[in-house]
Amino acid sequence: MASRTSRKKNKGKERKAKKVETERVRVRNQWMGWATGDGITCDHGCAILWTVDGTTSNFFDEFFNRGTFSFDDVANMLQGNNGDLLNDKRFREIAVGIFIRIGTNMMLSGGNNNFLWAQRIEKTIILLENYYNGMDSLDIALHCRVAARKFRDLDTTSCGSAKRDVLKFFSKRAPCSCLMEMHQTARGVFPKKGRCYRCEQEKDRVALSVCSRCMIMQYCSRGCQVADWSHHKGDCDLYVYAQKQQMSIVRAEMKAEAKDEESDIS
């Protein structure tokens, strides 16, 4: 009786493992299909695509196996089972290249679901581009000025404005000109929109003013800014701190690279 129960358990485990493996293969084929761009001959400048190793592939499997996720999920993927990938500069470069290719192909293909995925991919690229070895917190990468501004501009209910920003993002990073026409069309159709952080009204971005201290939070009037200060102060401190910390790390990294170059020359 015990052996029969044990066999049933083992068969159940085998079926579960087979199901997991089948799903993993399906997801990998899916994202690899986006990466290779079925019917799209341009490689969008991603020459490093086929140098991916098993660890990198496992990350992409896990990334695309999730329907929706937060940055906590992305952080867990980067710092969890796959090892500390976030502190691997080479991995970050490869991942960004692959993500640019996939995101570009998704925007070329069109469709609301593809756009939402491209938006998620953009946010992850922003994280990878603004993270530097030696950072003690993801908050620094996520709240530095460059990253925070891009997140802010994506934080709008205006799908057209967000689409325009996503097209601009991938168009600037892909060395090819595949998205140029789509981006130019979007610029003529969709105005840049932003949201006041106090009254939450959405307005043309040119009608909004940013906090002069953090240069991130935007408001439709002086009254809204003053009224929001008690709520904004904590975030403002974080933005300012993150910017200073990142610049300090970047300068140290540049100084170390310059020193290494001098050593190589001598």
For the chain, which residues make up each domain, given as ranges?
A: 2-191, 193-266
Identity at 207, one-letter amino acid code:
A
What's the confidence (pLDDT) of residue 262? 74
228 φ/ψ angles, rounded to the nearest 5 degrees: -95, -5
Predicted TM-score of the model (pTM): 0.87
- Which of 2-6, 198-202, 233-237, 256-260 is predicted with the least confidence, judged by mean pLDDT? 2-6
CA dihedral 74, 32, 109, 189 (to 10 degrees): 30
**Which ranges constitute the DSSP H helices of 131-179?**
138-143, 145-154, 159-173
SS3 135: coil
Whether 46 shows a pLDDT value over 80: the answer reads no
Total Cβ atoms within 10 A of residue 213: 13
Whether 159 shows a pLDDT value over 70: the answer reads yes
Strand (E) or helix (H) holding 65: none
